[in-house]
Structures are given as C-alpha cells and as structure tokens.
Amino acid sequence: MKILITTVFDYPHAGGLSTHVTTLKAGLEARGHEVDVLSISDAPGWQKKFYARGPSFVLNKVKKGKGIIWSRKARQNMLHKLIVENKSKNYDIINAQDAFATFASLESGIPTVSTVHGYMAFEAVSAGSVMEGSEEAKLLQEMEKKAYSSTRKVITVDQRIKDYVKKQAGVDGTAIRNFIDIHDFKPATDKKAELRKKHGFTDDDLVFFVPRRLTKKNGVIYPTLAFPKVLEKFPNAKLVYAGMGEAFEELKALIAEKGLENQVQLLGAVPHAKVKEFFALSDVVLVPSVHSAGVEEATSISALEAMGSGIPLIACAVGGLKEIVNHEHDGLLVEEKNVSELEDAMLFLLENPETGAQLAKNARQKIEDEYSHLAAAEKYESIYLSALEKN
C-alpha cells in the first residue's frame, strides 16, 4: 500500500505523537509498504506565522481559547492544501493523527482512518489553553465527536481512550497500545561510560532521567520535590529533564527555591534520536504522570522506551502506566503526587542495584514480547485493509 500519515502538528518534534509516527512508519516500511508523512512543518514558514500563530496570539488576548481554535483550523486548511498538492502520488489510504488532520484528510477524498492519542478538549484545558466549561472547550469536544464519527476507522492508543471515543461519539474504535522500535531502543550498558563523558557526567554520578514534556499532566514537579531527600543519602545524585512545555518556568522556579541548580538539569527539547543516549547513561527513569483536568497518561512511549532500553523504571500508577508496569516485577509503581512514595522508590533502587537490574531485564523481555513496532504495524495494516473494504 501507499500510505500517507498526516498531522496538523510539527513533525518531527519532541513528543509522543511524533515518536509514534516515526516508529509506525518504520514498522510499516519493514512490512513492504510505502509511507510518507505530511505535517504543518511542510507548510511555508510565512503561512504558519501569518495565518496561524500571529492571529492566534492576538485572539487569545481577546479571550483565552479563541486562539487555539483559530490556529487548529488554519493548520487544517494548510494541511488540506498540502494533501491536495500530493494527490498525484496516488495514496491508497491516509492515517490522520489528530482531529483536525482528520478533517483535512477527509476533504481530500482519500480513504481516511484516524488514530486518537488522547483527549483533545481536556488536554487543552489541562495545558491552560482554554478555560474549563467555556464555549471553546465545548467546541473542541464537538470537533472530536465529528472527527470520530466521520472517519472510516478509529484506532486508539489504549483502552481508556477507546472507551472515551465510544462515550463521546458512539464509535467503536480498535485499541492498539503504543509501541517502540525494539531495535532502536535496546540495552546499551557497554556505552554508558562513553555517553556519560560525552554529556558531562562522571562514572560516580547517580542519574535519574525524566524524559517528559514539561506539562501539568506529566507531573514533572514531583521528582524535584522528592530529590532533596535523595540527596541527603546520595549527594552524587543528578536529576535530568528532557522536554519543554508550559510548566518550564514553574519547574525552574521550584529548582531555584530548593537550591538544586547544581543537581538538576533542564535540557529542554531533545531530539528523539539523542534521547536514547540519555536512557543509556541513566541509572533510573522516572515517569511521574498525574491526573489533570480529566486527562491521564495513555500507553506512555517514554515508559516503553525506558523499559526497552533496560533501565529501571519508576512510574505513577495512573492510566496506561498501570497496564504497562507490573509492580515489583518489571518496574515500580507509586501513587501519583505522593512525594514520600516517590522518595522511597528512588532511594530503594539506588540502595538495591541488583533488584533494579532484574526489574530492567524483565522489562526488556516484556517489550520484546508485547510492544514491538513490527507487531503493531501488522495490526495497523489489517485496519487499513478493513477500511478500504468499507464503502
């Protein structure tokens, strides 16, 4: 098949959706399909600036939420134009990665299926882009319903989102949990010393890695709140964040308030190809997700990548993380927002490296058995074929 993957967001970018697209593309190509990606990044820069970003900024000054609506619709129109310009490539099917990409793809007349990665309206509220209960929030919910109802097939990245789609639009989707490239994210302990030297760490540093976008639902403040207790016993510990988001300034201020500027690093957005280097040099990975405005973590790609990389994982027991991690077998689960539990878990893994190594070994085996991008691509292929049979 000739498959086109579309999104109104930038591609590539530092985030789960972009990672999903890259990994799905690799899996489908390994099965012999031709795959292209079209995103807002393919539109001319001046169009994004003058039709999406500029008006969005001004409208948000008038009323919070108006800007995001304008921006998403402008992005939809630009993406639709790009799809039309590429119709000569005769794609068999489009896999849209968000609601507005679905609308842009449907307008092209090419058979379209949609992957739902989250709860668009609730996530906008959680991020502070729209006000809870506002007209704009309700409009985003209506747009979600319309997208789910209009596309040929709906794929969701976990069971909760499948249930959400059913509740919102009465549409039965297919849940295919997120996945990783098991050949790309794999144990690399032999490179640990080399990578530590490259990124400015010593062999004696005890590195906790937080590969999360800095947004409220990712609970990124909690590792910093827990870290002073860890440092009391292990003064050579380091806490490293890779990601950007609206919580950056809050986190930066918290680090300064706790006097942790020398022990905590904010790397900003890190290219996905480089993230695996930080997994490899780390001692423990933290995925401290929380509930926020009705939003909870799906099948976290960051958690899967940590497990695939053979690094001990501590995650909060919310959403899809409870499905991924078997507590005390292939990782540790702690109660969300519970700083004391997080402190204890972080200290436990530093004090018991042999246990951590066994957890990591079990986690890698689980990834190979259940979260391979090759197995996921086969499932996507089946849904594409089913959608093409649907009139």
Which of helix, strand or coil describes residue 5? strand
pLDDT greater at residue 148 or residue 62: 148
**Domains of the chain (ranges plus CATH)?**
2-179+372-389 (3.40.50.2000), 189-370 (3.40.50.2000)
Q: pLDDT-based confidence at 295, cuts 50/70/90? A: low
Give CA–CA dist 377/118, Å, rounded.
20
Q: pLDDT-based confidence at 196, cuts 50/70/90? A: very high
Give one DSSP letter per residue of 299-332, joined into a string.
Answer: S-HHHHHHHHTT--EEEES-TTHHHH--BTTTBE
Give CA–CA dist 140/145, Å, rounded.
9
| Helix (H), strand (E) at residue 35 | strand 34-39
With a cut of 70, say whether residue 294 has pLDDT above it: no
- DSSP class of residue 10 equals -
Q: pLDDT-based confidence at 7, cuts 50/70/90? A: very high
| Helix (H), strand (E) at residue 114 | strand 112-116
Mean pLDDT in residue range 252-278: 94
Q: How many CA atoms lie within 13 A of 227 on its CB side?
A: 31
Q: pLDDT-based confidence at 45, cuts 50/70/90? A: confident
- Across the strands, what pairs with 316? 334
With a cut of 90, say whether residue 293 has pLDDT above it: no
Give CA–CA dist 193/190, Å, rounded.
8
Residue 241: the pLDDT is: 98
Closest C-alpha to 297, from 132, 99, 157:
157
Tell me: cis bond preceding 12? Omega within 30 of 0 counts.
yes
Taking each helix axis as running N to C, give the angle between helix 353-370 and helix 301-308, from 0 to 180 degrees, rounded to the nearest 10. Answer: 110
- pTM (two decimals): 0.78
Q: What is the pLDDT of residues 149-167, one digit of tens each?
A: 999 999 999 888 999 999 9
**At residue 135, what is the residue type?**
E
Q: pLDDT-based confidence at 391, cuts 50/70/90? A: low
Residue 129: the pLDDT is: 84
Give CA–CA dist 252/248, Å, rounded.
6
For residue 188, how far is the Cα from the chain centroid? 23
CB 328 within 8 A of CB 321: no
Give CA–CA dist 106/28, Å, rounded.
22
Q: pLDDT-based confidence at 217, cuts 50/70/90? A: confident
Tokens (6 digits) for 311: 């690094």
Q: pLDDT-based confidence at 39, cuts 50/70/90? A: very high
Taking each helix axis as running N to C, give the angle between helix 301-308 and helix 272-281, from 0 to 180 degrees, rounded to the nearest 10. Answer: 50
Residue 345: the pLDDT is: 98
- Across the strands, what pairs with 385? none
